[in-house]
Amino acid sequence: MLLLVAFIVGFIMAFSIGANDVANSMSTAVGARAITPKQAVMIAAVLEFLGAVMFGSHVATTITKGIVKVEFMNDPRQVLAGALAALLGSSVWILLATVWGMPVSTTHSIVGGMAGFGIASAGLHAINWNKMISIVLSWVLSPIAGWLLAYALFKIVSHAILRKLHPAVAMKRSIPLIIFATFFIVCLLFAVKTLKVNFEEALVWSSVIATIAGVLGTMLLRRIRPVGLDEYEYVEAIFKRLQIMTSCYVSFSHGANDVANAVGPVALVYWIISHGNVAQKVGVPVWLLAIGGLGISAGALFLGQRVMKTVGEEITQLNNSRGFCIDFSTASTVLFASVLGLPISTTHVVVGSVVGVGTARGVELVNVGVLKNIVISWFATVPVSALVSAGFYLLILRFI
């Protein structure tokens, strides 16, 4: 019975992750009209599931996220109740934020859930406060890093292509470099963050793949003729194809990386019931990754459009060149943070990048009201998840 409850709760968590985090990958493509909202949720559902099943096991499942100290994770009964409570607490908050249309960090939510059960179980001294400080730091670091890079990148694209006398000619010259840089960043990020490949080896393979993609991509994209299009429409047509590709990558890698947030605690429950003891890290079977992938896909399909609309349409107006700058900046920021070991939230980076592109065109073009609500939801994530989790922990403990 406990195992069945754990599967259901894990599916709910995966559903909430899919519903909220689909905005990370598809919101800019939808906001820029590269794809329709319906196409976006369909593409995201398929790619999130594939990423979860194919590469989810490569993501190390550190169950407590380093929040609850190891010495307070010995009683199987308490840990079992805590894992379920953390999933429920974070799911409730993420679903509330999704209905509200606010993009929040699902990783921060599960961190809040873990902290809530730790405090309810053993008090404030059970929490690794240094780790909590690093998470709070990421609230500031993530959006600022995304904003700075997106601002700079959009200024470069504007200067090098959009403001030229003949933008189409400038775009044709820039295609090889843009494709190379895009594939290089995407491949390197996937190798380092998801596959955990050695950085030097990842650098070599990313360079090879990016070079091949640059040659083939240039041949294909240069076939697009600006017949019937003005020069700016031609430029946007090129960026549209690149943006769809980057959005698909982000969706696939999200399924691989974030499925652990939903199925990690479920895997722990499965381990405790099967072995009768506690483990800090447990392997996640493929069938459990599939359940998580299905949950993420279902969340993207049924509720994904709410947050996608907020990020893609309500912060600032987007087109394909702006959307590409946002996606490229987000991938680059997450890559640098992963290599340096810095705490960072992809959700916060995406929002920061959207604001960066908006402010590059003029501060008055950013919807400050929407931005204020988003920031409030960010600061509420950990405490609300922790409080709800603590309540569920005390309740579940009575029944097991």
Q: Check pLDDT > 70 for residue 168.
A: yes
How far apart CA 49 and CA 47 sit, in angstroms, is 5
Whole-number pLDDT of residue 220: 87
For the chain, what is the mean pLDDT?
90
Full residue range of the structural domain in which residue 60 is found? 2-397
Residue of 300, 301, 296, 269 whose CA lies nearest to 285: 269
Question: What distance in Å separates the CA atoms of residue 189 and residue 327, rounded to the nearest whole number?
Answer: 13
* Residue 265 pLDDT: 85
Q: Which residues contact 128 (CB under 8 A, 6 or more apart)?
A: 66, 67, 68, 69
* Contact assessment for residue 257 and residue 27, using Cβ atoms and an 8 Å cutoff: no
pLDDT tens string 178-221: 999 999 999 999 998 888 889 999 999 999 999 999 999 999 88
The confidence band for 64, taking pLDDT boundaries of 50, 70 and 90, is low
Confidence of residue 266 (pLDDT cuts 50, 70, 90): confident
Contacts of 155 (CB under 8 A, 6+ apart): 360
pTM for the model:
0.91
Distance CA 60, CA 309 (A): 32
Give the chain's domain count: 1
